[in-house]
A and B are shown apart, each in its own frame.
Chain A
């Protein structure tokens, strides 16, 4: 595995503390996340599992600040700072990163130009990465993620396959070195080889200076990225938390036993309005 030439922990700060308290989110006036609590600390990997329509992706988008998601209650802080007061780009510059399920295509903007602009925005004025160093680093990371070098000059996500988009999200992750990483169904649409590559990239970033929130349907990804905590989301909140064994039981038995234990008939946010 290639070492990151920017070095680990280039922020030179202590591990992040990301805190979500009683979060409520609505989309088009419909409440989707309904009182969610979660604390992520540096060095930890949390997985959120759950069936479709339980609010997992809404949580991810709302944390990043997508304009379509309205925060109607609760608090989110990063190292004590109010995340909800920050614009989307400020959140990113503070170290948040969301690998999106459906990243936008931006014609005419090359992948390399985009990543370099983003990296320089994170590094701040006066600390920009030299162009040659950037390209060396980019090519090294692309090689490691098994991405064809031509993708550096391809237009951002334009005409990329589902799997190529996912790997491109991971490329941005390793280049930007965020502190709070949210992976929204990064495993969907990936074959097993690509999944292993993505998992390896995540594992290589694992350190006390980074915390991960991994959203997934399947236990498959968690065989390669071993989580410290597994949470199950239903009806817009976390209904059960446990260790790795919780994910294994869900994989083996499905969600019905848990719904039965909790007395939940419909786990989605659709009915219980």
Chain B
């Protein structure tokens, strides 16, 4: 089949290196990634046709532009807390509370970190999501613009969440944010990223990469709240590398009507490592979401639990894959998967695809359950039988389906923000 993908990129890796006066290693890394991107074929996904997708990105703005109301409200509520705010690739605010700085915690925008924390960034950037793993990982590695760097030193427990608010406004031409989160040995951190896109410019590409590194004994909760509107095609990769006895708990929420291909992955590299992946999604309009939540078990006695709950409205079309791969040598590994899709409209579609690959004979447990259905009419009847009108009963049931995941987002401000957004979608 002929490759029809158009690649018209209005920004170059070299221009970014010049703009941010980047060191040689990064200049080389970007240039190498650019070569890989150009050579790589458009990925083939079983359920998502990418042949006609263009890969245009940029031009990147010099100035951040004016804020969206939504982002402004959110950042306003974060006052006093730890956050990095990036608009259209440009850092507009970095706030690290004194108490965290005193503990040795580093949190800044990624371009600044390249300059001020060169050794730490160089040692970790691109080690978890490598430029050569695919077309959009390469695109991000070549053209990342705007991002966050978080480093928590050994034995430091950060008990308040660290936020990354990334926004693309109407003027934006796609984007390539990058997050690098490093939790050193026996540290603890809650990291929350919120992506808000305005959704014009249909031919552009948004490619986000988040790398989380949890070293021996570290405990990380990583939450991602995304809202991709109709417009740029969104490709994102979030991956955690999890060391011995370390854990990473992912919580994500995706609400929107855009075109998205999303991979969220935990690499359980260490013995006794653990990861949970808990996610919800609300698809509206003509959303196309192709989401894979994946866990790779390499370490002995590693455990994982994936729980995905999607709700599709209008003509949304979603594919939720949960994939667990237990590699040879991951003795005693255990995993569970629970995926549920709820169809709220007749024309909505969803697939829940569980995948289990087990190369090791000696595993503890390996379970999966997947279902696609409509709202349980017995539940509706029960609530109505106590006087609650049908519309309210339905809303309560959908909320009940989403709520346990919302509650696990480790930031009150972001939880409240998400509750408002879900309410808005369910009212619409």
Q: Are B384 and A109 in touch, CB under 8 angstroms? A: no
Decide yes or no whether B327 CB sits under 8 A from chain A. Answer: no
Majority-rule SS of B interface residues: helix
Q: Are A104 and B387 in touch, CB under 8 angstroms? A: no
Residues of chain B lying within 8 A (CB to CB) of residue A114: 383, 386, 396
Decide yes or no whether B385 CB sits under 8 A from chain A. Answer: yes
Q: Are A108 and B402 in touch, CB under 8 angstroms? A: yes
A115-B383 Cα distance, complex, nearest whole Å: 9
Segment of A34-42, A85-93, A139-147, A235-243 in the binding face: A85-93
Segment of B41-49, B82-90, B232-240, B372-380 in the binding face: B372-380
Q: Are A109 and B382 in touch, CB under 8 angstroms? A: no
Residues of chain A lying within 8 A (CB to CB) of residue B403: 108-109
Assess A109 versus B397: contact at CB under 8 Å? Given A88-B381, A104-B376, A117-B392. Answer: yes
Q: Are B386 and A118 in touch, CB under 8 angstroms? A: yes
Number of residues in B with C-beta < 8 Å to the partner? 24
Q: Are A106 and B381 in touch, CB under 8 angstroms? A: no
Q: Mark B383-404, 1 if CB is under 8 A from A, else 0.
A: 1111111101100110111111
Pick from B381, B386, B404 the residue with the most CB of A within 10 Å: B386
A170-B201 Cα distance, complex, nearest whole Å: 57
A97-B384 Cα distance, complex, nearest whole Å: 11
Decide yes or no whether A176 CB sits under 8 A from chain B. Answer: yes
Q: Are B388 and A121 in touch, CB under 8 angstroms? A: yes
Q: Which residue of B lies closest to A91 (CB)?
A: B385
Least distance between B65 CB and chain A CB atoms (Å):
39
Q: Which residue of B lies closest to A102 (CB)?
A: B378
Residues of chain A lying within 8 A (CB to CB) of residue B379: 104-106
Task: Count CB-based A-B contacts (< 8 Å).
Answer: 80
Residues of chain A lying within 8 A (CB to CB) of residue B402: 108
Q: Are B385 and A64 in touch, CB under 8 angstroms? A: yes
Q: Are A106 and B382 in touch, CB under 8 angstroms? A: yes
Residues of chain B lying within 8 A (CB to CB) of residue A104: 376, 378-379, 381-382
Residues of chain A lying within 8 A (CB to CB) of residue B400: 106-109, 155-156
Q: Are A89 and B384 in touch, CB under 8 angstroms? A: yes
Q: Are A92 and B384 in touch, CB under 8 angstroms? A: yes
Q: Are B399 and A88 in touch, CB under 8 angstroms? A: no
Return the contact of B377 from the options A67, A91, A108, A121 (Cβ within 8 A). Answer: A67
Q: Which residue of A lies closest to B401 (CB)?
A: A108
A155-B396 Cα distance, complex, nearest whole Å: 12
Residues of chain A lying within 8 A (CB to CB) of residue B399: 108-109
Least distance between B384 CB and chain A CB atoms (Å):
4
Least distance between A9 CB and chain B CB atoms (Å):
18
Least distance between B423 CB and chain A CB atoms (Å):
15
Least distance between A49 CB and chain B CB atoms (Å):
24
Least distance between B31 CB and chain A CB atoms (Å):
49
Return the contact of B385 from the options A98, A108, A117, A156 (Cβ within 8 A). Answer: A98
Decide yes or no whether A103 CB sits under 8 A from chain B. Answer: yes
CB pairs A–B below 8 angstroms (14 shown): A64-B385, A65-B385, A67-B377, A88-B384, A89-B393, A98-B385, A104-B378, A106-B379, A106-B382, A106-B400, A107-B400, A108-B403, A117-B396, A121-B388
4 more CB-based (< 8 A) A-B contacts, given A91-B385, A92-B384, A117-B396 = A66-B381, A89-B390, A104-B378, A109-B396
